[in-house]
Chain A
Amino acid sequence: MRDETPQRAFLEKVIELRLPSKLGYERVAMDTASSLARRMGFATDRVDSLKTAISEAVTNAIEHGNLQDAAMKVVVLLTAREDELIVSVADQGRQQLSQACVFTRPEIGEAFGREDKGGWGIWLIRELMDEVEFTTAPSGGNQVRMVIHLEP
């Protein structure tokens, strides 16, 4: 499977991580991504933002996308480019992410009255990353692609 654009393929370095859908494994994704980001030269606060964003994305994939079926995998791709880090998190889509969730802006004042005080994850990802895109894979799985730019 040779890439059509070998030059680009050469510049991109991809790390792939496949994790079981069990809460707690998002730590592995966080530590792997932060290890890469630190070595790419991201500042500490950006690395912290990345860790929070990736933990939310993987937690969503485990809890919602794969409904905590441990046999299902969450696939994390970390693509290191010269000027940015692209993180893609994909689940196997036992449950589809609703488009409504993707654009919510939760309000803490309303959360007090709700039984479920959650729903902050996707909003946090959007706030913390430079580019965020939610898509559905041909296989039906949910995918989120997040980009963080390396500022000179």
Chain B
Amino acid sequence: MMLEDELTVSTRERDEVAVIDLVGDVTTFAEEKINTAYREVTSKGARLVLLNFRQNDYINSAGIAILIGIVTEVNRNHQKLAVSGLSQHFQKIFRMVGLAQYAGIYQDEEEALAGFKSLT
């Protein structure tokens, strides 16, 4: 009955990039869904991972901690990570926290895919 979990996570592949779509709130309740999606694409051999945010008007510090966990795994697994679709505010927060040093931050999915292409 309670809507604790207002996040939808899904995965797809585009131009050899594993895209994880995150629609909704990224808070402490998001942990299992995000980690499951990441493990799924990793087990399929993904080298390039894009976290594609959509309509996320609420990301909090617990959500940021989950994403730092993903960065840790990405580094361990020698993958590349990018982030797209964040509002100006959350782009700012990601830079403040230092996530921008470990993941390319792009305006949208197309820009992120182009960014990955320039790396390879």
Contact = CB atoms under 8 A, between A and B. Distances in A.
Interface size class of B (residues with CB under 8 A): 20 to 34
A116 B62 CA distance: 10
A23 to B, nearest CB: 6
Contact of B60 (A49, A52, A119): A52
Given A52-B89, A107-B98, A108-B102, A116 B65 contact: yes
B72 A112 contact: yes
If over half of A's interface residues share one DSSP class (helix, strand or loop), that class is named, otherwise mixed; here it is: helix
A81 B62 CA distance: 31
A106 to B, nearest CB: 8
Contacts of B92: 45
Nearest to A30: B58
A117 B96 contact: no
Contacts of A52: 60, 89, 93
A124 B68 CA distance: 15
B64 interface: yes
Interface size class of A (residues with CB under 8 A): 20 to 34
A128 to B, nearest CB: 8
A117 B72 CA distance: 10
Interface string A3-42: 0000000000000000000011011001000000000000
A150 B60 CA distance: 24
A120 B64 contact: yes
A127 B60 contact: no
A57 to B, nearest CB: 11
Nearest to A112: B72
Given A48-B87, A48-B89, A118 B62 contact: yes
A111 interface: yes
Contacts of B72: 112, 117
Given A108-B68, A124-B96, A45 B89 contact: yes
Interface in A79-128: 107-109, 111-112, 116-121, 124, 127
A143 interface: no
B84 interface: no
Contacts of A56: 60-61
A108 B60 contact: no
Contacts of A27: 58
Given A23-B27, A127-B96, 5 more contacts: A45-B89, A51-B58, A59-B62, A109-B98, A111-B65
- 10 smallest CB-CB distances across A and B, nearest first, come from A108-B98, A48-B89, A120-B61, A118-B65, A117-B65, A121-B61, A117-B68, A112-B72, A111-B68, A55-B60
10 contacts: A23-B4, A24-B29, A45-B92, A52-B93, A108-B98, A111-B68, A116-B65, A118-B62, A119-B61, A121-B60
